Structure 1
Amino acid sequence: AAAIALGASWATSGSTFGISNLAVLVLVFLSVVRTRLLRLVVTLVAAVALVAGGDIVTGIVVGRLAPGGAVLAALTQSLAVIGLPLLAGLFVRGRRDVREARNDEQQARMGQRDAQIQAALSRERAAMARELHDIAAHHVSAIALMSAVVDRQIDTDPLKAHLGVQQVRAQSTMVLDDLRRLVGLLRDDAGGERSVETLSTVPELVDRARALGSIELQILSPDGRVLGEGIGPLAQLAVYRTIQEALMNAAKHAPGATRVVQIDDRDDVHAVVTVTNAAPSGVVAASSSGGFGLLGMRERADLVGADLRYGPMSEGGWQVRVAVPRELPLRKTTTTRDVTAGPEANA
């Protein structure tokens, strides 16, 4: 367009050249808005030269200006024709770039928020999956083991089989109650009331688990101290579920073996809980697939900052050990109590 304007300055009047410059002005603005400035440097310099050449010709031929005055006027005119739309185009392009950057930032924030929501949902799903496993799988596994025992005793020892059926019924009732409590926690319109499962309620858990075999409970705690004092409720629930899972695993994979639950609450920094079972004395049923018990133990321990270790022992059997830190300072105590409850405690 600038070259055409230069040609028009030789063949036509000054008004025609002015109209041509107007076209150059519009095209410069559109080019700057649509194209990066670095790609237009050579083109803009050439346009300045062409417009200046046309202005010089028009000034000398039409305006009868002296060469020096024509050159000065041409430079001023060409810089105005190219510079003004250049500045306007840069302003419009800058506003557009800022708007696009804000849109991109908003999209990035929305993506980050969606990612955080998905991560939170994943954590909640994992937590619910652990809780459902600890509630349903524990009781259902106990019911399956009790049913197998009842099936063997129904002909040889009807009295024990009758007691076993009562235990199956009790386990079924407990799993329904626990599931109702869990659903109540998930519902907004429910009261969310449920029993608190802490280290103090472990003896009750052990009493129920004795239906599947012999268990020895050892509690090492200073006198005057509440069991699990200084340990948060979430950490105590994690330890409770770990004991529950370890006892059920021992009943399934080491039938007939004595199980020992020890709670060592004497240290002021952390409490240590171990669940140990000897080598199995009965026939171990083959498992069709690996469960999520150990994975759930690990996730709960990581959640509360506990140290979880498990594995086979050198003398045979299996041990699960979890050390959970205390969150609150303890009262000073001097004496220590040792409470040991063997299999006969169930009587």
Structure 2
Amino acid sequence: MNGDKQATVPTALPGRRWALPSALVEDLYPERSRPGGRPRRTARDWFVDFGCFLLAVAIGLLAADVLDDENLSAAMAVADQVIGALSCAAVWLRRRWPVGLAVAMVPVSLLSATAGGAVLLSLFTLAVHRPFRYVAWIGGASLAVTPLFYWMRPEPGLPYLASLFISVLLGVTVIGWGLLVRSKRWLLLSLRDRARHAEAEARLRAEQAQRLAREAIAREMHDVLAHRLTLLSVHAGALEFRPDASREDVARAAGVIRESAHDALQDLREIIGVLRAGESEDAGRPQPTLAALDGLVAESREAGMKVVLAARVADAAEVPASVGRTAYRIAQEALTNARKHAPGTEVTVSVSGARGDGLVLTVRNTAPEGEVPHVPGSGQGLIGLTERASLTGGTLDHGPTPEGGFEVRARLPWG
């Protein structure tokens, strides 16, 4: 009876868009992209870009301090610093043109030591925003020219192999870091897609359960409505072929016709809007009413269940057929769920009510002892019961009890 719970996973972070990279915002919120297709920069983007710019400038200033030790001419030193300054300014373009910036930094890395920070940031951005093939070619080219740079401009006070090892290790580390960031973003997007698919499947299952419940109700209402119209036709035909009938017989037949017409209109109101499907195997069978609840409880007891029936309805025959049939189906499904999900527990079926007050049906099971067996399901039974009660004009609530059991409670109209 413990119904399956459908879990929903949020697909976005509506209150924290500012904390997401613009690349993720573009995928999570396509409507926020600019008309040209470029995503809008978030507050996080501005903060990160400004930090990257400062980092490139800091690395450039550190490299500028050792230019005097390299015995460079004044013109070469000035050119090195100018190229480094332009490279630091180009860091602001890394999101828009990551491939172009990384390609431009390959020859720059041969000419300027102060552009080292911008070169590393361009490789990091390339690894984050572009597939691995771009990283392999451009990153490999950038690392390949490193030995040539240190051959032309040896590092003062550091052996050639040591300088080369540190530079290559730093470049590989930055590229690996970028690839890690890219993989984490792809993981987030894949989880988002899985969450969307799960929500769509859950919504389809719920709609299918509602449709099946409506179809079953439509078939049942078809049988009941056909019965009432047939009864009305028989009595109207009797009046037509027996014009000499006594006043008592005419009044009795007219009363039956009036009651049948009224009941048929009531049933017709319930069936309007319900899609009727093709006939199933049980079409044409007599539909159960509230009076059949005793037989349902007896069948459950014969199956080994501990069921207690507390019926406080003065005359079950006075309950409208549609209301009684709905109450029977709810009790039937609830007993089935209790037998599957809480075997061995005691189940109490309570039904009470009166004309004008409505009918209240409660099915409650105690807390199961020991480990509860896992029975796969989709929760469509409770969805169907809720739809059935709603179409009758009532409500249905279900959930765990404070004692650890489970309860299904339906309130149905009885006018």
- TM-score normalized by structure 2? 0.35
Considering Cα pairs closer than 8 Å and 6+ residues apart, tell me whether 1 or 2 has the greater RCO.
2
Q: If you compute each CA radius of gyration, which structure gives the higher value, 1 or 2? A: 1
- TM-score normalized by structure 1? 0.40
